[in-house]
Structure 1
Amino acid sequence: MPANSTPHGEFTLPLALRLGNVDISNRRMKLLEAVHTTGSISGAAKTIGMTYKAAWDAIDVINNLGAEPVVVTQHGGAGGGGALLTPYGAGLIDSFSKLTALQNQLMALFAAHDIDLIHDLRSILMKTSARNTFSGTVKSLTKGAVNSEVVLTIQGEDTLTAIITNTSAENMNLAVGSAAFALIKSSFVIVSQAPVTTSARNQLCGTVERITDGAVNAEIVIKLAGGNLVTAMITEGSTKELGLAVGDKACALIKASHIIVGVDH
């Protein structure tokens, strides 16, 4: 790498603690470290920028998954009650810290490689049952009383609007500019011949790339101008009514509540 070049970022791995069949994210491990430091759930939540409720929810999940309790708490008091790690919990934090240090040393060895290519490779290798998976960047994040509206910019400058709970947004540490992906089941995609007035927040238009007929349902793949492919599963009856053929213009309509948002960390 030339001396005056600017690195795209630093290499990391999504190191996580697995309890049972569930991974405990780095953010939740940071919460446990903060509990140890502050001695309270409320103090730990403030330290890592998590709401008090989200912190409690996370602690409950961790305690339910562990072979034994990780955190013991006492409700009440001006500060929301005390909390401390059990010996088992302290051991988990110590092991996680040592592994994190080793991971950072290992990733430093690959600093000369292109991190953008590594990120793309991880996205490609991601496995999911949803037919539609889009990698993007958070364009805007609007928080409401209960839910948050997340707008993602995907390949080709198309955008997807999703509605998720505030707790989910906080747990994923979503922010404008952060990387995220959207998952959409093909059965949640409505197909129209042209742009229409609809309550669906997302209307992605392009050209029919492929139609696969089945006994009951048909799979329609729409290619967007930016290169993304949107797959819809509709009935054969609907397919005949639309009268679509490969090369025709078509739009994919998707409700914001039907989009699952995820992050790779």
Structure 2
Amino acid sequence: MTTDHTDPSHEPLELGGSVWFQAGAQTLGGASRIALLAAIGETGSITSAAKAVGMSYKGAWDAVDTMNNLAGEPLVVRLTGGKGGGGTTLTPRAVKLIETFRAVEREHRRFLERAGAAIEGFATDWDLIGRIGVKTSARNQFYGTVSAVTRGSVNDEVSLALAGGHEIVAVVTHESTETLGLVVGSAAFALIKASWVVLLVENESGAPLKLSARNQLRGTVLSVKRGAVSAEVSLGLEGGAVITAVVTNESVDTLGLVEGSVAVAAFKASSVILGVKD
């Protein structure tokens, strides 16, 4: 496990941004997927292309299948047999897509450079706009920096440092760690569905709770919204973050959850989904 990493608060800010294509509400591809397409076109091999862009073979084909499905037509086709022994090639649609992406990316870079020079604090604001624009069905979304990656025999344990001194631990596969580029110091976000969060109340001594759930975030109840059967309870954490849980009305009454009371939100590391900006 590595713990040394650069403090981002002491690093000079640089302007950054990304371009991606969408098919309806689904993301067809960003820079990494377009790079994969370009590598396939250059090498004629999914294996060589995956290595060139730092993806696993399975991850590369999963990305190709997703792009083919979302485009509504093949972008990559696998050739079998023949004098050359088969291979992988791009369709004319994929070639045009790469050209369009590169043209849009050039214009996007010029826009960022002009905006960065004209608007004070643009780099920081632009990054935040990108983060708050993420749409997902998971109620709880946290943004942080990877503080540790511990390799296991099958899965990896990834720790994400949040504002306010909190930390979230996730268990993901080796392939996910590599595909997402999760290394110490990289930025990532964690998604936790409200139904995966369990609420507890500490005893009078305030001793740490003994649970199999790795993540335990202590906070103050901000609101309790009751429904016919269940209630939505939101806890305010140190540093300003909010985590929400869905529990039964009976649990709300049993635990004495009211605005201003203290509770602990617990959830398993395997219940945390990690993501990164493309």
Q: TM-score normalized by structure 1?
A: 0.86
Q: Name the counterpart of 2:205.
A: none
What is the root-mean-square deviation in Å for CA atoms of aligned residues? Answer: 2.4
Question: Which of 163, 185, 199 pairs up with 2:171?
Answer: 163
After superposition, the Cα gap between the structure-2 partners of 1:148 and 1:97, relative to the gap in structure 1 and judged at 3 Å, is same
Q: Name the counterpart of 2:113.
A: 108
Structure-2 separation of matches of 1:172 and 1:39: 24
Q: Name the counterpart of 1:45.
A: 50
Q: CA deviation at 1:253?
A: 0.5
After superposition, the Cα gap between the structure-2 partners of 1:249 and 1:81, relative to the gap in structure 1 and judged at 3 Å, is farther
Which amino acid is 1:172 matched to? L
Structure-2 separation of matches of 1:130 and 1:20: 20
Which structure 2 residues correspond to residues 59-208 of structure 1 after superposition, within 5 A?
Answer: 59-74=64-79, 82-112=87-117, 113-114=120-121, 115-194=123-202, 195-208=208-221
Structure-1 separation of matches of 2:23 and 2:132: 26
Q: CA deviation at 1:199?
A: 0.7
Structure-2 separation of matches of 1:193 and 1:185: 20
Write the deviation string for residues 193-231 of structure 1: whole angstroms up to 9, x where unpaired.
Answer: 124111111011122233333332222222222221111
Identity %: 43
After superposition, the Cα gap between the structure-2 partners of 1:74 and 1:143, relative to the gap in structure 1 and judged at 3 Å, is farther
Q: CA deviation at 1:21?
A: 4.7
Q: Name the counterpart of 2:227.
A: 214
After superposition, the Cα gap between the structure-2 partners of 1:87 and 1:127, relative to the gap in structure 1 and judged at 3 Å, is closer
- Gaps of at least 5 residues in structure 1 are none
After superposition, the Cα gap between the structure-2 partners of 1:171 and 1:243, relative to the gap in structure 1 and judged at 3 Å, is same
Question: Which of 222, 240, 250 pairs up with 1:227?
Answer: 240
After superposition, the Cα gap between the structure-2 partners of 1:58 and 1:143, relative to the gap in structure 1 and judged at 3 Å, is farther
Q: CA deviation at 1:144?
A: 3.8
Q: Name the counterpart of 1:248.
A: 261
Q: CA deviation at 1:262?
A: 1.8
Structure-1 separation of matches of 2:222 and 2:265: 13
Q: CA deviation at 1:165?
A: 3.2
Q: TM-score normalized by structure 2?
A: 0.83
Q: CA deviation at 1:258?
A: 1.6
Structure-2 separation of matches of 1:196 and 1:35: 51
Question: Which of 17, 30, 33 pairs up with 2:38?
Answer: 33
Q: How many pairs were matched up?
A: 257
After superposition, the Cα gap between the structure-2 partners of 1:98 and 1:255, relative to the gap in structure 1 and judged at 3 Å, is same
Q: CA deviation at 1:238?
A: 1.1
SS state at 1:8 partner: coil
Which amino acid is 1:53 matched to? K
Q: CA deviation at 1:49?
A: 0.9
Structure-2 separation of matches of 1:100 and 1:143: 35
